[in-house]
Structure 1
Amino acid sequence: MLLKPAAHHAGMAPSDWIVRWSHLVPAGSAVLDVACGSGRHMRWFAEQGHRVTGVDRSDEALGAARTFGGTLQADIEEGPWPFEGQHFDAVVVTNYLWRARLPGIVAAVAPGGVLLYETFAAGNETVGKPSRADFLLQPGELLAASAGLRVVAYEDGYLDAPARFVQRIAAVRPPARSENPPGHRPLLRPPSSQ
Structure 2
Amino acid sequence: MTQTPSKWVVDHIDQISRDGHVLDLACGTGRHTRFLLNRGFRVTAVDIDTKGLADLPDTNLSVIETDLEADPKAQSSISLNGSFDGIVVTNYLHRPLFGFLIDSLESGGILIYQTFMEGNERLGKPSNPDFLLRRDELKKVCSQEMTIINFSQGYVEHPGPAFMQQICARKT
TM-score normalised by the chain length of structure 1: 0.80
State the partner residue of 2:62: 70
CA contact (8 A) 2:102 2:171 kept: no
Matched residue count: 165
State the partner residue of 1:48: 39
Deviation, 1:62, is: 3.7
State the partner residue of 2:106: 110
Are residue 136 (structure 1) and residue 128 (structure 2) matched? no
Deviation, 1:63, is: 2.5
State the partner residue of 1:36: 27
User: In the alignment, which of 141, 153, 157 is matched to residue 154 of structure 2?
Assistant: 157
Partners of 1:66 and 1:132 lie apart in 2 by 36
Q: Which letter does structure 2 place at the counterpart of 1:30? A: H
Q: Which letter does structure 1 place at the counterpart of 2:111? A: L
Partners of 2:56 and 2:133 lie apart in 1 by 27
Question: 1:124-179 CA distances to partner (integer Å, 9 max, x unpaired)?
Answer: 011111011010000111112213110000001110130000111000012xxxxx
Residues 89 and 131 of structure 1, relative CA distance in 2, 3 Å threshold: same
Residues 45 and 172 of structure 1, relative CA distance in 2, 3 Å threshold: same
Q: Which letter does structure 2 place at the counterpart of 1:77? A: E
Partners of 2:6 and 2:120 lie apart in 1 by 18
Partners of 1:39 and 1:64 lie apart in 2 by 10
Higher mean alpha-carbon deviation, 98-107 vs 49-58, is at: 98-107
Which 4+ stretches in 1 moved above 4 angstroms? 64-68
Which runs of 5 or more residues in structure 1 are unaligned? 1-7, 175-194
Q: Which letter does structure 2 place at the counterpart of 1:157? A: G
Root mean square deviation, CA, Å: 1.6
State the partner residue of 2:141: 145
Q: Which letter does structure 2 place at the counterpart of 1:134? A: D
Deviation, 1:65, is: 5.4
Deviation, 1:21, is: 0.3
Relative to total residues, which structure has the larger strand share, 1 or 2?
2
Give the 5 Å matches for 1:112-127: 112-127=108-123
Are residue 83 (structure 1) and residue 48 (structure 2) matched? no
State the partner residue of 1:168: 166
Matched position secondary structure for 2:98: helix
CA contact (8 A) 1:106 1:145 kept: no
Residues 49 and 148 of structure 1, relative CA distance in 2, 3 Å threshold: same
State the partner residue of 1:22: 13
Rg larger in 1 or in 2?
1
Q: Which letter does structure 2 place at the counterpart of 1:76? A: L
Which runs of 5 or more residues in structure 2 are unaligned? none
Partners of 1:75 and 1:20 lie apart in 2 by 29
Matched position secondary structure for 2:78: coil
